[in-house]
Amino acid sequence: MFDKLDTNIIDGMERGLLSTVFFDNETIKEIKENIFSNPQYKKIYEVMNELYLNKFPVNEETVLAKLDSTFEQPLLNIISANPISHIDSIYNSLLENNYKIFLQTQLKKIAADETSSIDKVNELEALIQRSRDFKRQEIFNFIDFSKAEEKNPNFFLEDILPIQEHEINIISAPGGSGKSYISLYIALQFIYKYTLKKCFLWLSEDEIGVSKKRASSLCKIHNELNINNRITVIGKETQVFHFVDKNLNINAKFELMKQQLKDFSLIVLDPLIAFYGADENSNADARYFMSLLNKWCVDENKTIILIHHHSKASGTNKSSARGASAFIDACRMHYVIEKVENDTRSRKVVIDKTNHFSNEKHDYIIKLFDTKVEVKTFEPQKEIPKKYSMPTLGNLDDTEVEELWLQLKLKRGRNNGWRK
């Protein structure tokens, strides 16, 4: 009658929830009830909750200290499980599954009860009403729409290059267009304008020293900018990892990274594809990946900028971002970098897509280089064969002809033993 979850799936979900609490103790607040079906997991959750409420760290050592040795293996199984970013959906699934089990138990109890039919009908009606109440509580959290607070989307750096706050923004361009320079420029402007905020950039294709040189160059061009401890940059020296794999499993390192970046307001990731391990051309996979980043923005008030490549065949066409179209569809703003005619020191950033920005200005010229820069395709020079000219006998006098004849006879004599 009721479709219950497979026991292996339930076990994986429960381990994932508890593993997430180990990685981020604050997430235990999202687990509102002890909904664990495994008796050992249920006990582990009780200990975790007690430690958290008493302001103790929740880790393997503190939990095991309150349990006996029979919990060592279950704890190991929990710690080895991947943490999850969508706790609410997993929690609700387990909560619903528990209620389905409860309903089945109650129905069997009513069927086996020897009371009158009228009593059974009353019990069934009460059970059905309870089920309806449960569904209403789980699916929706209604608010009075008439009292909802109006809200406009916010942008920072509106006069320089508007970036929508607490959303995903994508900057795309062909290779060699200055994407990394633009990233650093935005980050430097951000820490200059917002003196209490911090910015993190993972420029995974460049060494950190190269990025530092570019940032220093930008500070010389734009005198108001400077490099300080509120901008953090890592490069190709740090091993990049996929946030999701080809099966859309979330990497545990992604959750760890989110914890380490709790104090950063602006996150720049370059390039997008370096952090994506699923099918690049699958819209479904791309939407899932973007939903993880979007939830990060919503839950922790992060603003994310993704640097994205254009496909090689498409050049600077605005609709030519590499891979699935869902990457661009899922972001709030999409920018395309173009060259500026007769000005190799600057780049034009064009707002290709925006959901909310109403300003008529959609093109922004940004000076990036302190000297003229022209990216040219390398073409190897063709080797030109050397030309040799031989004098004709008509240009020589009799004495020169005799000397040339003697030299020829001497050479042939040495090589062949020939003599005059």
Strand 333-340 and strand 168-173: the pairing is parallel
**Spatial CA neighbour of 308 closest among 212, 293, 248:** 293
So what's the pLDDT on residue 1?
39
Residue 264's Cβ-side half-sphere holds a number of Cα atoms within 13 Å equal to 22
Q: The domain at 7-145 falls in which architecture?
A: Orthogonal Bundle (1.10)
Q: Which residue has the higher pLDDT, 176 or 404?
A: 176
pLDDT digits (tens, 9 = 90+) for 89-129: 788 778 777 777 777 777 777 667 666 666 666 666 665 66
**CB within 8 Å of 74: residues ≥ 6 apart:** 38, 40, 41, 44
pLDDT at 260 over 80: yes
Beta bridge partners of 202: 234, 269
Measured distance CA(304)–CA(218) in Å, rounded: 22
* Mean pLDDT in residue range 301-320: 76
What residue type is 190 in one-letter code? F
Per-residue pLDDT band at 377 (split at 50, 70, 90): very low
Tell me how far apart the alpha carbons of residues 186 and 394 are, in angstroms, rounded to a whole number. 76
Predicted confidence (pLDDT) per residue in 213-244, tens digit = 999 999 999 999 999 999 999 999 999 999 98
Which residues, including other chains, have CB under 8 Å from residue 75's CB and lie 6 or more apart?
44, 60, 63, 64, 67
Distance CA 64, CA 54 (A): 16
For the chain, which residues make up each domain, given as ranges? 7-145, 168-367
Peptide bond into 74 cis (omega under 30): no
pLDDT in tens, 32-90: 778 888 889 999 999 999 999 988 999 989 999 999 989 999 998 898 887 876 777 78
Question: Taking each helix axis from N to C terminus, what angle separates 7-23 and 87-112, rounded to the nearest 10 degrees?
Answer: 140
Whether 369 has a pLDDT exceeding 90, the answer reads: no
Res. 139: pLDDT tops 80: no
* Mean pLDDT, all residues of the chain: 82
**158-200, pLDDT tens digit by residue?**
889 999 999 999 999 988 888 999 999 999 999 999 999 999 9
Long-range contacts of the stretch 110-116 (C-beta < 8 A, 24+): none
Asked if residues 51 and 110 have their Cβ atoms less than 8 Å apart, the reply is: no
Q: Residue 206: what residue type?
A: D
pLDDT for 393 beyond 80:
no
Long-range CB pairs of 30-37 (<8 Å, 24+ gap) are: 30/87, 30/88, 30/91, 31/87, 31/91, 32/91, 33/95, 35/91, 35/94, 35/95, 35/98, 36/94, 37/10, 37/94, 37/98, 37/101
| pTM for the model | 0.60
In the chain, the percentage of residues whose pLDDT exceeds 70 is 75
Q: Residue range 258-270: average pLDDT? A: 94
- Output the pLDDT for position 176: 81
CATH number of 168-367: 3.40.50.300
